[in-house]
Structure 1
Amino acid sequence: MGIIVQFSVQKGHAIMTCDQVDKLLFPCVRYITHDVEPGPACCNGVRTIKGLAQNTLDKRQVCSCVKEAANRYSNLKDDAAQALVKKCGVEIDVPVSRHINCDV
């Protein structure tokens, strides 16, 4: 006897996982921990996340994943992390921060 699980996806609704967010932002780790310029791979990851997080639910999910990832790095430089999207020339509603409230 097997169990069937069905997932439904609304049109235009991207499903983001924390693994995906981690992989996309991994190239940014040196920037947020050592305050060096973010490279092209980092900024491409930020742009990809912006493209995938189009609605409120997705943005909250990405925010939670980013917050969780940020808390893994004790040497994270908050100023650098908060400036990441601007450094990459991307406007996105998901700041990189350990202290952000993702439910607003």
Structure 2
Amino acid sequence: MAKGMKFACLVLACMIVVGPITANAALLSCEAVHNYLAPCIVYVIQGGVMPRGCCNGVRNLYSTAHSTADRQQICGCIQQNARRVGSVLNPGRAAGIPKACGVKIPYKISYSLNCKTVR
């Protein structure tokens, strides 16, 4: 279950790495990314009602990623953990979280997102 939670966080973080571009990069740690997205884990793995904390975390992470470097760092955290964890989450549920939370991202959520293309 712990491996599944890490993977779920990674997929969710990948969904929200695009945000407004500014001059200063905050460069978030992988631990910070995990903390923002932790409330989403059970929903992505098991379904049910999406926790309010999930949308709050998604919106907060989205607004924290101010630069391309921030978004690529978040994506890298996702990929790093995804390699360690199997596919125990529901990719359809994960892909639907941004829309359900009112966060628009300009790309399709998938396991194969190339972090170098994230702007």
Whether the aligned pair in 1 keeps the contact of 2:27 and 2:69 (CA below 8 Å) is no
Separation of aligned partners in 1, 2:54 and 2:115: 22
Contiguous gaps of at least 5 residues in structure 1: 1-10
Residues 1:20 and 1:95: Cα distance change in structure 2 (over 3 Å): farther
Residue deviations 1:72-94, cap 9 Å, x none?
A: 35311111111111111112458
Identity across matched positions, percent:
33
Whether the aligned pair in 2 keeps the contact of 1:13 and 1:55 (CA below 8 Å) is yes
What code does the residue aligned with 1:21 have? V
Instruction: Flag the structure with higher helix content.
Output: 2
Whether the aligned pair in 2 keeps the contact of 1:67 and 1:97 (CA below 8 Å) is no
Residues 1:70 and 1:47: Cα distance change in structure 2 (over 3 Å): farther
Whether the aligned pair in 2 keeps the contact of 1:33 and 1:75 (CA below 8 Å) is yes
2:38 to 20, 26, 35: 26
Contiguous gaps of at least 5 residues in structure 2: 1-22
Equivalent residue number for residue 99 of structure 2? 86
**2:67 counterpart of 1:55:** yes
Instruction: Give the number of the structure with larger relative contact order, counting CA–CA contacts within 8 Å between residues 6 or more apart.
Output: 2
Larger radius of gyration, structure 1 or 2?
1
How many residues are aligned here? 94
2:28 to 16, 21, 27: 16
Whether the aligned pair in 2 keeps the contact of 1:28 and 1:39 (CA below 8 Å) is yes
Separation of aligned partners in 2, 1:53 and 1:17: 11
Give the TM-score of the pair, scaled to structure 1: 0.75
Give the TM-score of the pair, scaled to structure 2: 0.67
RMSD, aligned CA: 2.2
Equivalent residue number for residue 115 of structure 2? 102
